[in-house]
Structure 1
Amino acid sequence: MQLKVSVVVPIYKVEKYLKKCVDSILNQTYSNIEVILVNDGSPDNCGEIAEYYSEEDHRVRVFHKENGGLSDARNYGMQYVTGDFVLFIDSDDWIAANMIERLVDTCNTFKADAVQSAFYYAYENYLLFDNRYYSRNDSPVVLDNKSLMYELVVNERVKNFAWGKLYKTNIIRDLPFEKGVLFEDVYWAHNVMQRINRYVILHEPLVYYLQRNDSIVSTYTPRNLDIIRGLIKRHNFIEENYKELVNESYKLIIKTCFTHYSLLLANKNKDKDGYYRNEIKKYINDNFPELKTAVKHSGLKIQLYLFKLHPHLMIFFRGCKKVLRKIKITQSSNLERIELS
């Protein structure tokens, strides 16, 4: 008998995308699923669309709640999970027809606690696949706990995303997402990964991760700084439990600080008195000795010293590197592009 998979889909203001998402779940080659649709107080027609699916397919369960954000919606949905495995899908994404079957089979074959699939960045007319580390036909990679935590902290082969991964339900049931923050996965993933003994990476892209046209500069708000706060909170966990990863953790914090300082400068009207930029500067100044050690043998060393002299020097340096990449004077990583007919 097939093990049961619970698919949790939080829903908010996605009526344009919701049908494609839910159809992709219901049309899976793996039949023993339950689909938990959580309408997080969406003001559009998402609630009606969700109810339609619950009437058409007995595997769909719909719950309506007041708006509380993505974390709150996922936590709410987890109360009703009855499956052996859990899969989170964002309601503007969609999945390949064989995704759940592939993940469950892989989990059983390798006796894994969790399995992740690769994904496509999905644009209107084309897809992008990140082939810098693996090709789509490579064999699965099996990670033990220490290797997994390293990959999570580096954030390249194992992303912080909660979606696109099949988890054994008993591993995550009592680990709620932190409410009231953006980038909630950063606050959650390390607590999950600490419990995992065997983790498998599949390189076949089975998720279509929708890329909307909104510019990050135009939509940026200081709430985006939640990601830095999340990484710093995770860093405290790393210092306590995985001391060998402290420098890698600092590197990601530095890169993220530089990115958000640049975005704040590009959105001066949202940080008129420089409060948030000063918050970043204070963190870097207060932790400069440790940060300096962390980047000693990395390309971040120059940027850190330039930032210490004046943040604008770091931004100018990053801008020059970006221009050089664009005109291909320096080597850049080109993602594999698949045109859609």
Structure 2
Amino acid sequence: MMVPDYLISVLLTAHNSEKFLPDTLASLEKACHGVEQYIEFILINDASVDNTAALLDDFSRRHPQAKVFNIDYRNIGRVRNFGVQQCSGEYITMLDGDDQLLADALADIVRYLKSHRPDALFTALNEVYESRPQHITWQGLQAETLSRHQAIEKFLIHRDLQAHFIGQFIKRTILLAHPFPDYTCYEDAWLFPEILVSSHAIAYSRQSPYLYFKRGNSLSSQLDKHKISLLVSATQHMDEVLQERYRNLLSCHWINIAHKHRQALDNPDDRKQVIEAITKIRPLSFLFDSKIRTSFKKKYLALKLNKPL
């Protein structure tokens, strides 16, 4: 029996997600309406102790293009790498077990990917806060072509393109060549710059198929010293990949760490990296750069006027 040639692999990862998973899976079904034959579902249950595995198994029984894998990694970087290895689609998009996709969205994306075949289709994310419910519907894909330089700047400015693999459509060959680090968080921030510089044909859409639920208990919202170390490491890797051409925009990310986590930078190596990055900033170039938001210029001046880190 021949294996279907899928255009898209949806890589869903879940850990103790039984509260949200039914809505996530229902949204996945609705998002694929009419184009199911082009899409496979790779469903990863990582070390759940609730009903997550049973929910994924039930979904897979109803969808022949679904495969379920039960693993015990407890490490999102390793989980994502494992999942990528299981995918067979030309493109991979990622879905967290507590987020959702918009109804009918993937039909437009399938048509676009089939006709244009970019290395990556990046989209903005629809951020949904539990305290502020919103009704968001799919308005159609509005894709534009970006140069690599434009995509990197959009990413570093961090408004329209964030360091998330959820809601993005990236060629499987690129993800196989660039694995995630074994991080428990910020694995996406570490890898995203590599994907940008490895992509040649890049498309971007402000219209996103993805509902990204901002919950208070997310891995990156509850920072401890270990997670801050991972953030510093990811930012350092970003710096190494993107280098001096983007120095001013890179500096904004270092300023953010110094501004937000000043008191928690207990690790001497982390503190040293942040200090060195802030020291690299050329004051006049940074302050007169029109691409730098005023808020970052103010934070930089505050850091210079206050006591050293």
TM-score, normalising length: structure 2:
0.83
SS at match of 1:16: coil
- 1:189 aligns with one of 187, 192, 199: 192
Amino acid at match of 1:127: Q
Unaligned stretches of 5+ in structure 2? none
1:330 is aligned to: none
Query: Larger C-alpha radius of gyration, 1 or 2?
Result: 1
Change (3 A) 1:218 1:164: closer
1:233 is aligned to: 237
Cα deviation 1:211-270 (Å, max 9, x = unaligned) = 22449998331233122220112101222xxx3212211222212331222xxx4xxxxx
SS at match of 2:281: helix
- Is 2:245 the partner of 1:244? yes
SS at match of 1:116: strand
Conserved? CA contact 1:122–1:128, under 8 Å: no
2:50 is aligned to: 44
Give the whole-Å Cα distance in 1 for the aligned partners of 2:22 and 2:240: 41
Amino acid at match of 1:69: N
User: Size of the alignment, in residue pairs?
Assistant: 293
Give the whole-Å Cα distance in 2 for the aligned partners of 1:52 and 1:111: 33
Deviation of 1:193 after TM superposition, in Å, equals 1.3
Amino acid at match of 2:192: A
1:209 is aligned to: 212
Q: Equivalences for 1:98-177 in 2 at 5 Å? A: 98-124=104-130, 126-127=133-134, 139-177=142-180
Change (3 A) 1:145 1:46: same
Conserved? CA contact 1:251–1:295, under 8 Å: no
| Deviation larger for 40-49 or 291-300 | 291-300
Amino acid at match of 1:235: D
Unaligned stretches of 5+ in structure 1? 130-135, 266-270, 315-341
- Is 2:59 the partner of 1:53? yes
Conserved? CA contact 1:93–1:209, under 8 Å: yes
Q: CA RMSD in A?
A: 2.9
1:13 is aligned to: 16
2:266 is aligned to: 275
- 1:219 aligns with one of 196, 201, 222: 222
Conserved? CA contact 2:7–2:90, under 8 Å: yes
| Deviation larger for 289-298 or 150-159 | 289-298
- 1:23 aligns with one of 15, 23, 26: 26
Conserved? CA contact 1:115–1:165, under 8 Å: yes
Give the whole-Å Cα distance in 2 for the aligned partners of 1:255 and 1:193: 22
1:303 is aligned to: 299
2:254 is aligned to: 253
Cα deviation 1:174-218 (Å, max 9, x = unaligned) = 221111341110111111111211222222232111122449998
Change (3 A) 1:107 1:16: same
